Amino acid sequence: MSLSSPLAVSMGEPAGIGTEILAMAYRHFADMPHGKVPTFFLVDDPFRVERLVRGLGLDVPIATIASPSEATEQFGHGLPILPLPDLHLDALRAVVPGSPTPSTAGAVTASIDIAVTAALNGEACGVVTLPIQKQALQDAGFEYPGHTEYLGHLTETTELPHGMTRGPVMILTAGPFRVAPVTVHLPLKDVSAALTLERIVSTGMVLAEALVRDYGVDTPRIAVAGLNPHAGEQGHLGREEIDVIVPAIKALRDKGIDAMGPFPADTMFHEEARAQYHAALTMYHDQGLVPIKTIAFHAAVNTTLGLPIVRSSPDHGTALDVVGKKIARPDSLINAIYSAHRMAAARTVFDAVQAPVSS
């Protein structure tokens, strides 16, 4: 991977707002001085994208490329698009905005696969994923709860450097506010049984290592949430804190990680509390995502940690109800592009320092 390499962007749900907000994001970056901003390419059908942006009245020229290596040079001339294989084009070109269909699942997953392969091969410095419509994919046989788990599958045979802990772990960020849930796409009734000491420790390890390598935090401090109201209130409101979470925090501290808690989730996200830690480790999805989306709904970024590649995404879904209405906002996607580029730069610096010096 080289920082001169572009980011690879996967197409996401073609009936959603992904293409629309990417065109807006391209306009944002294309209007800035060349060489001063991240460059990227989209894995999609150039004909479909051009028809869509013209229909929206967006001033976004299209630059079809034959390989990722052409993207940076072409970026100033148009949105670089690496075409999908022909077998996917008929389904894509029949898409009705706002109406997902399982017929495009092959195109959506192929776009992710190509973007990830480019990152693994060093042709891209990272991957930015546009939102997918999980139901449409799963109706076509997609076996994964979401991007996070699928990316873990695609990269599972690639070794991580420096003996780092493998994820995937989801983290949401908005500036210095960072939240990583231990359990993600899981029914609430199943969370308690899924919270094991090993799972909490592994997630905490991935988070701590990423804070150093990807975010440049020398000595990360992690605040760990309890599961129950008032963090269990000494066992009166549940024993998960006593039996699992406290031992996991001790295990993390034994590994040299500054982990604190468990804290009641209702008091650990106000401004003064957030100033005391670099990231929060929460026990389930909404426990962490509600506060960060409340505080920074349009700005937050979804990132996957513990992978051999950089991956970020806007922190929202396909927004089918606003497709084509010209009211979709690209803020989160723009932040995701900046974030992926910064992470790639941080990894390059960290890995250069960690690399053994040849004699």
> In which residue are the tokens 């890995």 written?
351
The reported pLDDT for the residue numbered 256 is: 96
One-letter amino acid of 335: N
DSSP 8-class letter at 27 = H
Predicted confidence (pLDDT) per residue in 248-274, tens digit: 999 999 999 999 999 999 999 999 999
**DSSP run (H or E) holding 136:** helix 134-139
Angle at 322 between CA 317 and CA 324, to 5 degrees: 115
Two tokens at 163?
């003996």
- Predicted confidence band of residue 355 (pLDDT cuts 50, 70, 90): low
> In which residue are the tokens 């049984």 written?
193
**DSSP run (H or E) holding 245:** none
Cα 11 to Cα 157, 164, 198, 325, distances in angstroms? 24, 30, 35, 19
- Predicted confidence band of residue 35 (pLDDT cuts 50, 70, 90): confident
Burial (CB < 10 A; 0-12, 13-18, 19+), residue 208, is buried
Cα 264 to Cα 15, 89, 239, distances in angstroms? 40, 50, 14
The reported pLDDT for the residue numbered 356 is: 54
Burial (CB < 10 A; 0-12, 13-18, 19+), residue 66, is exposed
The reported pLDDT for the residue numbered 77 is: 94
CA distance linking residue 157 with residue 346, whole number of Å: 23
Q: Taking 60 as the threshold, does the pLDDT of residue 86 lie above it? A: yes
Q: Are 167 and 152 in contact (CB under 8 A)?
A: yes
Half-sphere exposure of 176 (CA within 13 A, CB side): 13
DSSP 8-class letter at 99 = B
Q: Taking 90 as the threshold, does the pLDDT of residue 36 lie above it? A: no
Cα 39 to Cα 31, 187, 338, 358, distances in angstroms? 12, 38, 10, 33
CA distance linking residue 310 with residue 146, whole number of Å: 17
Q: Are 323 and 16 in contact (CB under 8 A)?
A: yes
Q: Taking 90 as the threshold, does the pLDDT of residue 280 lie above it? A: yes
Q: Across all residues in the chain, what is the average pLDDT? A: 94
The percent of residues above 70 in pLDDT, for the chain, comes to 98
**Across 3-32, average pLDDT:** 93
Q: Taking 80 as the threshold, does the pLDDT of residue 212 lie above it? A: yes
**Across 339-346, average pLDDT:** 96
**Across 6-27, average pLDDT:** 97
CA distance linking residue 176 with residue 174, whole number of Å: 6
Q: Are 338 and 38 in contact (CB under 8 A)?
A: yes
What the chain holds in terms of domains, given with CATH numbers, is 1-162+309-359 (3.40.718.10), 176-295 (3.40.718.10)
Q: Give the alpha-carbon dihedral of 39, 149, 20, 120, to 10 degrees.
A: 20
